[in-house]
Chains A and B, each alone.
Chain A
């Protein structure tokens, strides 16, 4: 093992020990209830809330996928995310959050399925929504583990193989999540978010400096690879449709939605909404520029190799400690997303499935033990899937984003449209998902997507079916609708 590798592993070991310590320490504050294990007793204020929501959102894509994508298509990989997601998602914190948060307070809801199904008192609709959310969360979960394995292998020059890196991350997350639940995850996320924001900016400044500064690095790209500056390698239709997918989809990431409900009050939610776009812009744009500049100094990477551009740049051009910073930043981003996804899937399984069986009569302590067991089993399943997965990181995430985005119309129907019916919500879910899956897997001619990502036609079909079926069915007269809109009126959000 070289000195470089020892240094990198030393920094990462320090980071991992600190993470586990915070997770274990947080368990001392556990109240032993489901509300506490899954929602941290809904008492997070601005800083912790921001870090846990942002950490749940930022993943392997930022430090692996974005530089890799920019290596192939240029700087536009940054605005691919920042000119939609960075501001549209926090705007939706208001649209969805301002109505879901009081519902969580009043009815104890924790999941998207509960909020949508609860509108019409429909367990079937809740289960349907949850099934799709789990379907799209699990592939996204794999990206964190794959990113961890890829990064550690590159940082240690192959000394630690992919499967060991992924295993280390799995075990660490499993420990602090099993012990600390939502509180443990949120406290650890606070550290992780600080690390990956500061680490990302440090990496940008150091790499830009060793490449001769942004002016020289950009001029080199302009002379040798002008198509990366002109955006000739990125289809505008792809750019356009992905904006809707990523901007709309994130609000229904189960892990992001759940964390919005953990806010102590709307004031905290409003604060994180104001802050959110700034680090989003900084992190994404800087990673995209690094990936593009990397093409000029390390040409010849293709396909999945481009995912290695950032670690390769650091290994070739920066001091040893930079590799450690990258490792800590990447691991922070990945683990904060992974823990939140694991907990959200656990919450959905517990609340939307197990609580609808005889288990609902069990004690709180028993249900918390079951939740911990589910966390362990899910971690194991995610690890195995990560080892088997042969597909590139971005492709999986694109598919997951579209899946989440397709669930936005029925969610908005449930929260905002009194006339909207249960049947319409069910058809909107089913038809949009059928269109998405049919176009993604090639069950129908891909030309039916007119060159856009499959998620865009799926979203349009979802909206149309919601409207058409609503007017084909009788207006809802159920208790859920009355309760929801009475609460919104009481909370001051009645339209």
Chain B
């Protein structure tokens, strides 16, 4: 897959912007220092799930970059 430089630039900008946002919102100040309800498997609470969600979105960005930005010919 070859990526047009203009398209690549646009996609890179979006990925880096989302990455920057993730780095800020990983600090969930609204729940920090509080006990949140357990929502999964009887032991994962909302705050834990949120952190796992941040990781998951980050992983999606990585996969998107590998698949759609980094061209094969490089």
A binding-site residues for B, Cβ under 8 Å: 75-76, 78-79, 82-84, 86-88, 90-91, 94, 98, 101-102, 214-215, 217-219, 222, 226, 229-232, 236, 239-240, 243-244, 247, 266-267, 269-271, 273-274, 276-278, 281, 285, 491-495
B62 at the interface (CB under 8 A from A): yes
Give the number of A-B contacts (CB < 8 Å): 113
CA distance A167 to B10 in the complex (A): 52
Q: Is the CB of B65 within 8 A of A94?
A: yes
- Interface pairs A-B: 4 shortest CB-CB: A87-B58, A79-B51, A218-B43, A215-B42
- Residues of chain A lying within 8 A (CB to CB) of residue B35: 222, 226, 229-230
CA distance A494 to B27 in the complex (A): 34
Chain B residue nearest to A276 (CB atoms) is: B62
**Could you list 14 examples of A-B contacts with CB < 8 Å?**
A79-B26, A79-B51, A83-B51, A83-B58, A91-B15, A219-B43, A231-B32, A236-B27, A243-B26, A273-B65, A277-B59, A492-B3, A492-B73, A495-B5
CB-defined interface of B29-56 with A at 8 Å, one 1/0 digit per residue?
1001111000001110101100110110
Q: Report the minimum CB–CB distance from A261 to chain B (whole Å).
A: 14
Q: Is the CB of A266 within 8 A of B55?
A: no
Q: Is the CB of A79 within 8 A of B43?
A: no
Q: Report the minimum CB–CB distance from B59 to chain A (whole Å).
A: 4
Q: Is the CB of A278 within 8 A of B66?
A: no
Q: Is the CB of A214 within 8 A of B59?
A: no
- Residues of chain B lying within 8 A (CB to CB) of residue A232: 33
Q: Is the CB of A86 within 8 A of B69?
A: no
Q: Is the CB of A82 within 8 A of B27?
A: no
CA distance A83 to B42 in the complex (A): 22
Q: Is the CB of B9 within 8 A of A215?
A: no
B63 at the interface (CB under 8 A from A): yes
B19 at the interface (CB under 8 A from A): yes
Q: Is the CB of A94 within 8 A of B2?
A: no
CA distance A145 to B41 in the complex (A): 38
Q: Report the minimum CB–CB distance from B62 to chain A (whole Å).
A: 5
B binding-site residues for A, Cβ under 8 Å: 2-3, 5, 9, 15, 19, 22-24, 26-27, 29, 32-35, 41-43, 45, 47-48, 51-52, 54-55, 58-59, 61-63, 65-66, 69-74
CA distance A90 to B55 in the complex (A): 12
Q: Report the minimum CB–CB distance from B5 to chain A (whole Å).
A: 6
CA distance A2 to B48 in the complex (A): 41
Q: Is the CB of A281 within 8 A of B55?
A: yes
- Residues of chain A lying within 8 A (CB to CB) of residue B22: 83, 87
Q: Report the minimum CB–CB distance from A214 to chain B (whole Å).
A: 5
Q: Is the CB of B74 within 8 A of A493?
A: yes
CA distance A76 to B54 in the complex (A): 13
Q: Report the minimum CB–CB distance from A174 to chain B (whole Å).
A: 35
Known contacts A222-B35, A270-B70; A278/B59 CB under 8 A: yes
Known contacts A84-B26, A236-B32, A495-B9; A231/B61 CB under 8 A: no
Q: Report the minimum CB–CB distance from B4 to chain A (whole Å).
A: 10
Q: Is the CB of B55 within 8 A of A83?
A: yes
- Residues of chain B lying within 8 A (CB to CB) of residue A236: 27, 29, 32
Q: Report the minimum CB–CB distance from B46 to chain A (whole Å).
A: 11
CA distance A226 to B35 in the complex (A): 8
CA distance A48 to B6 in the complex (A): 34
Which residue of B19, B26, B33, B47 contacts A91 across the interface (Cβ within 8 Å)?
A: B19
Q: Is the CB of B55 within 8 A of A230?
A: no
Known contacts A83-B54, A88-B19, A270-B70; A494/B65 CB under 8 A: no
Q: Report the minimum CB–CB distance from A59 to chain B (whole Å).
A: 20
Most chain A CB within 10 A, of B5, B23, B69, is at: B23
Q: Is the CB of B62 within 8 A of A491?
A: no
Most chain A CB within 10 A, of B29, B65, B72, is at: B65
CA distance A31 to B22 in the complex (A): 46
CA distance A247 to B24 in the complex (A): 13
Which residue of A243, A276, A278, A491 contacts B23 across the interface (Cβ within 8 Å)?
A: A243
Q: Report the minimum CB–CB distance from B58 to chain A (whole Å).
A: 3
Which residue of A83, A215, A244, A273 contacts B43 across the interface (Cβ within 8 Å)?
A: A215
CA distance A61 to B59 in the complex (A): 22
CA distance A266 to B62 in the complex (A): 15
Q: Is the CB of A270 within 8 A of B66?
A: yes
Q: Is the CB of A231 within 8 A of B66?
A: no
- Residues of chain A lying within 8 A (CB to CB) of residue B24: 240
Known contacts A86-B55, A214-B43, A215-B41; A492/B71 CB under 8 A: yes
Chain A residue nearest to B71 (CB atoms) is: A492
Q: Is the CB of B62 within 8 A of A91?
A: yes
- Residues of chain B lying within 8 A (CB to CB) of residue A78: 51
